[in-house]
Amino acid sequence: MTDAPALILENIRKSFGENEVLKGIDLTVAPHEVVCLIGASGSGKSTLLRCTNLVEPLDSGRVVVEGEEITAAGVDADRVRRRIGIVYQSFNLFPHMTVLRNVTLAPREALKMDRKTADEMAISLLQRFGLAGRRDEYPDRLSGGQQQRVAIVRALAMRPSIMLLDEVTSALDPELVAEVLSVIRELAHEGMTMLIATHEMGFARDIADRVCFLEDGRILEQGPPERIFSSPENPRTARFLRRIIEAGRL
Partner 1 sequence: MTTRGTGPANDPEPSTPAGSGRGSRVLGNRAVLVSSVSTVAFFAAVALVVALAPGSGLVAERFFSPFHLWQSLRGTPGEPSVLGAFLLNVYIFAISEVLILVFALVIAVVRGIPGPAFFPFRVVAIVYTDVFRGVPLILVLYIIGFGVPGLGIAYFSYLSDVTYGIIALVLVYSAYVAEVYRAGIESVHESQNAAARSLGLSRFQSLRFVVLPQAIRRVIPPLLNDFIGLQKDTALVSVLGSIEAARAAQIYGASQFNYASYVVAALLFVLITIPLARFTDRLIARDKRRRQAGGLA
Ligand X SMILES: Nc1ncnc2c1ncn2[C@@H]1O[C@H](COP(=O)(O)OP(=O)(O)OP(=O)(O)O)[C@@H](O)[C@H]1O
Under 8 Å between Cβ of 215 and 54 = no
Based on CB atoms, which residue is closest to partner 1, 86 or 126? Answer: 86
Least Cα distance to 238 among 43, 38, 36 occurs for 38
Name which of residues 159 to 198 contact ligand X (CB under 6 A).
167
Q: 145 is in the binding site of which of partner 1, ligand X, Mg ion, none (Cβ under 5 to 8 A by kind)?
A: none
46 is an interface residue for Mg ion by CB under 5 A: yes
Which parts of 19-38 interact with ligand X (CB under 6 A)? Answer: 19, 21
Q: What is the C-alpha separation between 177 and 34, in angstroms, rounded?
A: 19
Q: Please give the torsion angle defined by the CA atoms of residues 106, 110, 115 and 118, in that order, rounded to the nearest 10 degrees.
A: -60
CB of 154 vs partner 1, minimal distance in Å: 7
Q: Would you count residue 140 as binding partner 1 (CB under 8 A)?
A: yes
Residue type present at position 224: P
CB-based contacts of 137: which residues, under 8 Å, 6+ apart? Answer: 98, 99
Mention every residue, 6+ apart, whose C-beta is less than 8 A from residue 186.
Answer: none
47 binds Mg ion (CB under 5 A): no
Residues in contact with Mg ion by CB under 5 A are 46
Residues in contact with ligand X by CB under 6 A are 16, 19, 21, 39, 41-47, 167
Residues in contact with partner 1 by CB under 8 A are 53, 55, 78-79, 81-82, 86, 88, 90, 92-96, 105-106, 109-111, 140-141, 154-155, 158
